[in-house]
A and B are shown apart, each in its own frame.
Chain A
Amino acid sequence: MGILEVNDVNKRFGGLQALNSVTLDVEEGKVHAIIGPNGAGKSTLLNCFVGRLVPDTGTVMFNGQSLLGIKPHEINQTGVSRVFQTPEIFEEMTLIENVMIPAFAHRDGAFKVNFWGGVSEEGEVGDRAEAMLAQVDLADKKDTLAGSLSRGDKRRLELAMCLVQEPKLLLLDEPTAGMSRADTNNTIDLLKRIGEMGITKVVIEHDMHVVFSLAHKISVLAQGTVIAEGLPDEIKGDPRVQEAYLGGAHV
């Protein structure tokens, strides 16, 4: 019995069957990678987990609770955090503020009118945020504006924003897309370190190097359908996957 259970999810956009009876079972504490060619429906699937899209049919259960029909912030409050393909951060605010906001959300819930106490008096939240920035090697930039960061730094910031919430489930949408090899390796190291924190992760990734370095289990999506599922080694050897996706790819 997994922490995230996706059962028979279908989603249609006009004439396109984006998701076709997708069933997944993500085990607690493991890294579950979803791979597949462009347009396979990976991001659509992720969007169904965070409330951005609602499937036409099927169920998505997290910790025994349905994630369908509830709002994004409510889903997050149940313990699901997401890193986006293009970093979604607060560009006009400083790094420390960027991390404090999710820290507050974690501590105070979805809404709290706390207008009397100053941010500077929130020592505990500030410390947590600072510690988290240190974890992603951004502590020295904590007072710069997030918008001025490099793309790699922005991703790490976003990761810190998600981690400071101590999520039960972390969704990563191509965490290394567009990164240099060095940055990618840094990110893999970082993700491995997080792995030791025992957070369940679902990773969408193109880069097989990343996938096979991290994943405990892999699902392969093609044209909205899960065509294969298994341990990394099984997937590597699966001819269907080779044909649909890996054909000729450098592994």
Chain B
Amino acid sequence: MLALDKKDTTLFLIVLAAVIFAPFLLNPFPEGSELAQFNAGYPDLLQRFLIFGIFAIGFNILFGLTGYLSFGHAAFLGVGSYAGVWMMKLLTMNVVPAILMSIVFAGLFSLLVGYISLRRSGIYFSILTLAFAQMSFALAYSVLTPITNGETGLQLALDDPRVLGVSQVNGSIPPTNLFGLPMRESFELTMGGWVFTFNAGYYLCAVFMMVAFYLAIRIFRSPFGMMLRAVKSNQQRMNYTGLNSRPYTLAAFVISGMYAGLAGGLMVAMDPLAGAERMQWTASGEVVLMTILGGAGTLIGPVLGAGFIKYFENIFSKINDNILHQWFAFLPDGLEDALVFVIHPFIGKGWHLTLGIMFMLIVIFLPGGIVEGFRRLAQIGRRGTGGGKKSADAVPAPAE
């Protein structure tokens, strides 16, 4: 199906189902219950899961396949965002031209940066991309303020021209929309104590995410993807085999830059503001974290990593001492206080600390990320059920 083999088709369908039903799946706890704060099924976070998933999938096409570690991909996301907002300011609040221009501008910018940076490899390549991204950020923050609106971030105004649309509706800026369907439009479904929100913007992201994911599968399974893995494996042999590795890496760089641009475009389609911080090297570092956490070089890993970090950032960071005290209220007072005292540095505003520790643990013990974790668990499970049949199972592991 879909011209994919059985394994990939299964994966695609699982992801598709997960994305369609995410508003259900991520809201497992009834409204008003103690655990409701762990619900992640609200539009903004759901959109972010998908948008950063797209970003990480694209980054993985470069890093996971070719092994080139870019520390500057956030710049492409930022350029895409700025292009998107400008389309909304100048042309129309319809998100289609904005998203298209985001991809185009990010692609052009990544072509320029990639063309120069890919003249070097290894850490030199990383430093070059880092330098470009930091320059973009510094300039966007200051000298380019007329284009980027500096620190505040580029946003819409009531007096924007919007030549194909309207500048304002009753004193308000019109919402971003897809041919008239506002991105913030939501349906709420109430079932017993549960409330599920289905948001138009989320499903637009979902469509783009599934297309992006499908395309990534095709790339991974194509001769082109094989060449990219060859770059990572042995670039020298590749060259002596008559393959020019530079255009391959450049193509991968531009494709991943366009993914980043798509992510940037979707971000402003959901929330029409583009801040310069999204270009900073720490933002590039974040997508690296996502890809590694999930599992670089695997299809689904980056999406899982993106979801993991965004969940942490948005849900885990909200836990505070009061909530802890509620949780441990059943304990004797002294013990409760002691426990809260011990946990306190790691929760709420200390979430960076927890994230840093978890990241280190994953790099140390699970270099293949979450995906490898699942694989190991599955192995343990298999061994547990069919311990005696080990020799029959001696088929070598697949390459991926």
Contacts and interface: CB of A to CB of B under 8 A. Distances in A.
Interface stretch (B18-26, B33-41, B238-246, B385-393): B238-246
Interface in B225-241: 225-227, 229-230, 232-234, 236-241
B247 to A, nearest CB: 4
A77 B232 CA distance: 21
Interface in B1-44: 3-5
B240 A114 contact: no
Given A91-B234, A114-B223, A122-B223, A97 B240 contact: no
Given A92-B229, A118-B3, A73 B221 contact: no
A100 B243 contact: no
Interface residues of A, number: 42
A101 B241 contact: yes
B399 A115 contact: no
A78 to B, nearest CB: 9
Contacts of A90: 229-230, 233-234, 237
Given A89-B237, A93-B230, A118-B3, A105 B242 contact: yes
A92 B244 contact: no
A115 B221 CA distance: 8
B219 A101 contact: no
Interface in A101-143: 101-102, 104-106, 108-120, 122, 143
B7 to A, nearest CB: 11
Contacts of A119: 221-223, 225-226
Interface residues of B, number: 34
Nearest to A120: B5
B251 interface: yes
B242 A93 contact: no
A71 B396 contact: no
With most chain B CB atoms within 10 A of its CB, the pick from A77, A97, A111 is A111
Contact of A111 (B229, B247, B397): B247
B344 interface: no
B218 A82 contact: no
A50 B399 contact: no
A72 interface: yes
B221 A118 contact: yes
Interface in A3-53: 50
Nearest to A165: B242
A111 B399 contact: no
A70 B167 CA distance: 58
B327 interface: no
A200 interface: no
A92 B232 contact: yes
A88 interface: yes
A115 B222 CA distance: 5
A94 interface: yes
Contacts of B241: 73, 76, 81, 101-102, 105, 161, 165
A113 B251 contact: yes
A87 to B, nearest CB: 9
Nearest to A144: B396
- Nearest 8 interchain pairs by C-beta: A76-B242, A90-B233, A115-B224, A88-B237, A110-B244, A105-B242, A72-B239, A111-B247
Interface of B: 3-5, 218-219, 221-227, 229-230, 232-234, 236-245, 247-248, 251, 396-399
